[in-house]
Structure 1
């Protein structure tokens, strides 16, 4: 009896060791390791700027509607241009695209810093520079997502690299707002923007230091629009890809805009200031990091459909509970729950999209991912700002939580049909060894 118990303990410890080893396996690839370090530093600066921009807009205007409008201005170019950017990413050198976008993003942050430090900044300056950043992101996001597969040396490490990317973003989400809260209180928003501009040096240096194998030249078409149409047909013709993109689009529209309303919750609902805002945004990051570290420890993409459903329900219920809270110490753990649910849904969907996509279509598929996950946020931010102005920020967040629950339920009901569509693809890729195996990427 004692030996059986000892055997179970040894087996449990072995599983924990294996899971821990799985968490960082993509870092064995030199190029991905460089990217991870450089992008990690840069993203901290990005989150500092996001929080500082929201606080600056609210300080200058006191308007929830303008908070939503500024967010809309920064993200609508991504929605409009992402399909065209996807074609560019598939046609050109993805590494070169990223170098250009990072240099332009550094210039955008430097301009924000200049106007803020010289006390010339107005909401119009912020709006114009947000549009500029949106144009950059339209090309940067699909380029970065599609470039991941070129940085990892083994395709088996792709899901781990995507999870590590998400953990990197959310570690920055944790650190950036906390740093921003301190800097805003001590020296003002201008120095936040300056620090962000400086942080881009790290990611640019990491990109330039990479050693990349020659990539097979993509097929050239006579007309740009033919590639664009091919991307639309590919996405529309794949039920699993289509279902994932619809889910992401609705969740992004209804659920994600809660972050835009955070300054209102920090100041009016919870009676705090910049430090409170930093603590709340940091809580979202803590939850999200927990979610993606668990994803990174998984050795297979199978079962991710159930993870998406669980994450979506957690996110929706967390938003509803957060909208009802009037205590900071209750709101903080609820925001951590929201962060975990949101990231489980997003990172799992990203992994499935990249795995299901053919190599020559990946840039275009990820451009639709960009439209769905990032491009719908401005419309949701505008709607949330309008609802908040009319009925209050808690009501806007609560409505978003209810809509999120509804679309996740619809996705859950469609899982059996989606499994049948995914099975032959995964058999072809070697993820499922035999056609009769009933385990798929979406679950059992």
Structure 2
């Protein structure tokens, strides 16, 4: 019986380094999603503007888009564990500043500034975390599973965090959410302390390969190029439902902060199911066709959110949107990780991150102002329709 139970545990979780990172990061990410949900709700409460929600996303992601390529170069040059010590500690201080800002009733622009600082930190944190996973897996055949588990952990937190945030905000206010996030970073910092990696194992003799090598590798590989283009479209238009969700909850579905938390949870459950589903997939062949189908499903989901305006229907389409968007991201990540040589892995992960977030701040800004001008529902239909047409064109390639 013990042998059969052991078989149920994914191979990466049987490896101490990956397991430590998985659980430490998982606790920290729950805190991060609690903060994210509370911050969006707070900004909408202060401003009553969807443009402000777009600006909030813009302020977080523009620094990431600008500096993430440099962050990937740093990840290839220095010890990834050391970089994560710095970034996670910096995130802790930003969360504490948000806590004090909320208590002092700081202006909307103060939160925009802190969000921009978080985006700058994330430009170094994100490509480093993505590339660090490879170092934590002993058998590289377990890499697709490890990537899916890593994403599953992220999306489990995305389900748990906003749901907790909804009730915390309702009963205690937004400030407590920022404090909980600051405390949660102790979990990942502790896990990093106990993770043992060989000094310099990520620094190869080929580490000086520049971004031209990564760029040439990207454009010369048809599957990677197509997947990155689709992911960029998903980042630009597919995030529209996430940007507008506080307004969808309040103005269209006429629900409060608890309902908003449940809606975010619906999307998060879809993302979690996607990660668990892809975690069982060991076949890495024909990934590009899988990516195309997920992108198509995302476009249909956006249109469904706009058309079917009741809580249950919206929750279903949010589930499908979360499932398809994260499936698109995970499968693209897997495709790149499987095909990328080690000496440009950090750079390719920064290109991957840039393709997902590089256009999204401009998409968020456009979506925020467009929804203010023509309404939330037409904005979602336009985003879904453009993405649908792009998917149809790519299907023929």
- TM-score tier by shorter-chain length is over 0.9
CA spacing shift, 1:22–1:362, aligned 2, 3 Å: farther
Moved more, 243-252 or 104-113: 243-252
Report whether the alignment pairs 1:75 with 2:58: no
Query: Which among 379, 387, 390 is matched to residue 370 of structure 2?
Result: 387
2:162 is aligned to 177
1:195 is aligned to 180
Q: Structure 1 residue runs of 4+, over 6 Å off?
A: none
Distance 1:385 1:203 in 2: 34
State the shift of 1:22 in Å: 7.0
State the shift of 1:21 in Å: 4.5
Distance 1:363 1:32 in 2: 18
1:125 is aligned to 110
Distance 1:363 1:410 in 2: 31
Give the match's secondary structure for 2:309: coil
Distance 2:185 2:390 in 1: 37
Distance 2:70 2:223 in 1: 22
1:137 is aligned to 122
Query: Which among 251, 254, 276 is matched to residue 271 of structure 1?
Result: 254
Distance 1:239 1:94 in 2: 29
8 Å CA contact 2:245, 2:260 repeated in 1 = yes
CA spacing shift, 1:114–1:216, aligned 2, 3 Å: closer
Q: CA RMSD in A?
A: 1.8
Aligned pairs (5 A) from 1:281-430: 281-414=264-397
Report whether the alignment pairs 1:158 with 2:143: yes
How many residues align structurally?
393
State the Cα deviation string for residues 375-413 of structure 1 (Å, max 9, x = none).
221111001101101111112122221122223223322
Report whether the alignment pairs 1:44 with 2:30: yes
CA spacing shift, 1:333–1:220, aligned 2, 3 Å: closer
Which consecutive residues of structure 1, in runs of 5 or more, have no partner in the other structure? 1-16, 415-444
1:14 is aligned to none
The structure that has the greater radius of gyration is 1
State the shift of 1:230 in Å: 3.1
Which consecutive residues of structure 2, in runs of 5 or more, have no partner in the other structure? none
Distance 1:54 1:94 in 2: 31
Distance 2:357 2:202 in 1: 29
Query: Which among 47, 51, 57 is matched to residue 65 of structure 1?
Result: 51
State the Cα deviation string for residues 68-112 of structure 1 (Å, max 9, x = none).
011101110111111111111111111111111111011111110
CA spacing shift, 1:314–1:21, aligned 2, 3 Å: farther
State the shift of 1:161 in Å: 0.7
CA spacing shift, 1:297–1:216, aligned 2, 3 Å: closer
State the shift of 1:323 in Å: 0.9
1:430 is aligned to none
2:215 is aligned to 232
Give the match's secondary structure for 2:196: coil
Query: Which among 104, 107, 114 is matched to residue 100 of structure 2?
Result: 114
Aligned pairs (5 A) from 1:76-115: 76-115=62-101
Distance 1:332 1:39 in 2: 27
CA spacing shift, 1:410–1:353, aligned 2, 3 Å: farther
Distance 1:274 1:128 in 2: 24
State the shift of 1:148 in Å: 0.8
Distance 1:22 1:256 in 2: 34
Query: Which among 123, 128, 132 is matched to residue 147 of structure 1?
Result: 132
Distance 1:65 1:350 in 2: 31
TM-score (norm 1): 0.85
TM-score (norm 2): 0.95
CA spacing shift, 1:408–1:23, aligned 2, 3 Å: farther
8 Å CA contact 1:23, 1:296 repeated in 2 = no
Distance 1:241 1:356 in 2: 9
Moved more, 229-238 or 48-57: 229-238
8 Å CA contact 1:26, 1:157 repeated in 2 = yes
State the shift of 1:264 in Å: 0.5
Give the match's secondary structure for 2:210: helix
1:429 is aligned to none
State the shift of 1:315 in Å: 1.4
